[in-house]
């Protein structure tokens, strides 16, 4: 039986969950894989905060070099998060001839090229299953199960915090701010949840999926990112009346010889399976040429879910150590991009839901529709709700397909009309769903 010694950097929620799984499932893992995993050293700044597992004193350290310089450690598990010092820890681990497992989506998305180069240079592996969807095996599916497939599109609800907020607003009929406070109380949102609600976390994960599916690691600034902070309870209710649900959607799909990659709130029809993904759950919907449509669904956050993904990587590593073929990192780096050009957000075509807050007086609808018509935007339906305070009413419009550029120009013009109060809210309706 092969024993794999682990150096764990980061003894937080996921790190503690990992050690708990390795302890509680030790016999099961040995029986299924023939490998035994042991934490030889654990590095963290804080060993005072209580965790669900106790550590022997001799394996604790506050100096990461105790792990990097230990010749008996086979793999470093990095769970500190962020870019620095995580990048330096990983590259130094590879240089010290240690394999690496990480759950750090921001690092892989933004610094993946450097890390993969280092892994190839030092002939060591790096695994990152838990970086997207925690324990949901989306990365393994893309790199192994769908190896003979061409992926045409990926649509994902892959941020638990944003999904919880939107679900809470719908189920409890509460405001955005109230839902955020509830998410914080339940531990589903950070004290500063901007990375989640602004779509940054979703974008990090999407870039990783795009790389695995299409072979190109794009930069964050290359893609369009929009969060959910402008979504109101009124929009949630109107979506319900239209038999749709609002989700923060990650989108990557082929458009001819280019890729359309973006993150933004999207109206999802209720007949689509993604509409039923609620709370902190995640789901990734994949369109392929051979397998057709696939949906991977599961808990996308939490100590044990993310730790389960890390364990999966450790087992893959153990098996790869017995293989004579190229390492996973070499296969990643040697991939040739299938598509390298991105569709500009201004060039996309979509149907739109638009909410205007307007003064309730004759001729308002004609003025709004007139501007839309000037930009070639055709209206499919209009709903005007009853009068509210100060005679301001919501006007809901659904459009036929229009270009993003024309929609933005039209909304800017309409916002300047004297009868309009507040900037119009426009939510795209994804035509592929």
Among the ranges given (176-185, 224-233, 333-342), the one the predictor scored with the smallest mean pLDDT = 333-342
- The CATH number linked to 308 is 3.40.50.720
Is 241 a domain residue?
Answer: yes
Q: At a CB cut-off of 8 Å and minimum separation 6, what does 169 contact? A: 175, 176, 179, 231, 233, 236
Same domain for 144 and 52: no
For a pLDDT cut of 90, what percent of the chain falls above it?
82
78, containing H or E segment:
strand 75-78
Same domain for 419 and 291: no
Same domain for 193 and 122: no
Same domain for 361 and 231: no
Per-residue pLDDT tens digits for 302-358: 778 889 999 999 998 888 887 656 555 555 655 566 677 999 999 999 999 999 999
Stretch 156-162: mean pLDDT, rounded? Answer: 96
Query: Can you tell me the distance from the alpha carbon of 367 to that of 387, in angstroms, rounded to the nearest whole number?
Result: 19
Q: At a CB cut-off of 8 Å and minimum separation 6, what does 16 contact? A: 51, 52, 53, 303
pLDDT at 335: 57
Same domain for 116 and 11: yes
Is 243 a domain residue?
Answer: yes
Confidence grade of residue 299 (pLDDT, cut at 50, 70, 90): confident
**Of 74, 134, 129, which Cα lies nearest the Cα of 328?**
129
Residues serving a catalytic function are 205
Answer whether residue 252 shows pLDDT above 90: yes
Q: Are 284 and 183 in contact (CB under 8 A)?
A: no
Is 338 a domain residue?
Answer: no
Is 229 a domain residue?
Answer: yes
- The CATH number linked to 420 is 3.30.70.260
Per-residue pLDDT tens digits for 346-380: 999 999 999 999 998 889 999 999 999 999 999 99
Between 332 and 271, name the one with better pLDDT: 271
For a pLDDT cut of 70, what percent of the chain falls above it?
95
Tell me what the pLDDT averaged over the chain comes to. Answer: 92
Same domain for 278 and 199: yes
Same domain for 321 and 420: no
Same domain for 289 and 225: yes
Q: Which domain holds residue 36?
A: 2-134+303-333
Inter-axis angle of helices 105-121 and 200-214, nearest 10: 40
pLDDT at 388: 57
Q: Are 371 and 410 in contact (CB under 8 A)?
A: yes
Same domain for 162 and 124: no
Domain count, the chain: 3
Same domain for 159 and 58: no
pLDDT at 336: 64
Same domain for 236 and 89: no
Per-residue pLDDT tens digits for 2-31: 889 999 999 999 999 999 999 999 999 998
Q: At a CB cut-off of 8 Å and minimum separation 6, what does 344 contact? A: none
CA-to-CA dists, residue 136 to 17, 38, 80, 128, 306, angstroms: 16, 24, 20, 12, 8
Is 340 a domain residue?
Answer: no
Is 343 a domain residue?
Answer: no
Is 421 a domain residue?
Answer: yes
β-pairing, 425-429 vs 349-359, is antiparallel
Beta strands in 194-304 (DSSP E): 224-225, 244-255, 258-269, 281-288, 293-299
- The CATH number linked to 244 is 3.30.360.10
Same domain for 222 and 114: no
């Amino acid at each position: 039986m092969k024993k794999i010694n682990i150096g764990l950097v980061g003894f937080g929620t996921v790190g503690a969950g990992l050690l708990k799984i390795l302890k509680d499932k030790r016999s099961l893992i040995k029986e299924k894989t023939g490998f035994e995993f042991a934490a030889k050293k654990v590095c963290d700044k804080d060993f005072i905060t209580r965790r669900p597992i106790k550590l022997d004193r001799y394996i604790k350290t506050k100096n990461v070099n105790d792990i990097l310089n230990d010749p008996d450690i086979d793999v470093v598990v990095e769970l500190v998060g962020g870019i620095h010092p995580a990048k330096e820890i990983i590259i130094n681990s590879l240089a010290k001839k240690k394999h690496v497992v990480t759950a750090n989506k921001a690092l892989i998305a933004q610094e993946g090229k450097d890390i993969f180069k280092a892994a190839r240079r030092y002939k060591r592996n790096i695994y990152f299953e838990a970086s997207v969807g925690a324990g949901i095996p989306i990365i393994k599916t893309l790199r192994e199960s769908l190896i003979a497939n061409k992926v045409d599109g990926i649509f994902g609800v892959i941020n638990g915090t944003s999904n919880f907020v939107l679900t809470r607003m719908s189920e409890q009929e509460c405001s955005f701010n109230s839902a955020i406070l509830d998410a914080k109380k339940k531990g589903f949102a950070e004290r500063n949840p901007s990375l989640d609600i602004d779509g940054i976390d979703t974008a990090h994960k999407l870039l990783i999926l795009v790389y695995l599916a299409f072979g190109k690691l794009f930069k964050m600034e290359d893609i369009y990112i929009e969060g959910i902070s402008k979504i109101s309870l009124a929009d949630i209710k109107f979506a319900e009346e239209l038999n749709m649900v609002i989700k923060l959607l990650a989108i990557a799909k082929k458009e001819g010889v280019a890729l359309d990659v973006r993150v933004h709130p999207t109206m999802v029809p209720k007949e689509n399976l993604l509409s039923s993904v609620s709370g902190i759950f995640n789901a990734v919907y994949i369109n392929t040429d051979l397998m057709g449509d696939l949906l991977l669904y599961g808990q996308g956050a939490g100590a044990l879910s993310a730790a389960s993904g890390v364990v999966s990587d450790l087992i893959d590593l153990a098996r790869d150590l017995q293989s004579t073929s190229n390492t996973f990192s070499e296969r990643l780096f040697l991939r040739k991009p299938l598509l390298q050009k991105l569709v500009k957000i201004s060039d996309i075509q979509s149907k739109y839901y638009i909410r205007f807050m307007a003064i309730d007086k004759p001729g308002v609808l004609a003025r709004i529709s007139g501007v839309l018509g000037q930009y070639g935007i055709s209206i499919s339906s209009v709903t005007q709700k009853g009068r509210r305070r100060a005679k301001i009413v919501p006007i809901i419009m659904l459009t036929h397909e229009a270009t993003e550029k024309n929609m933005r120009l039209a909304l800017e013009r309409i916002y300047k009309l004297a009868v309009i109060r507040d900037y119009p809210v426009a939510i795209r309706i994804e035509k592929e769903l």
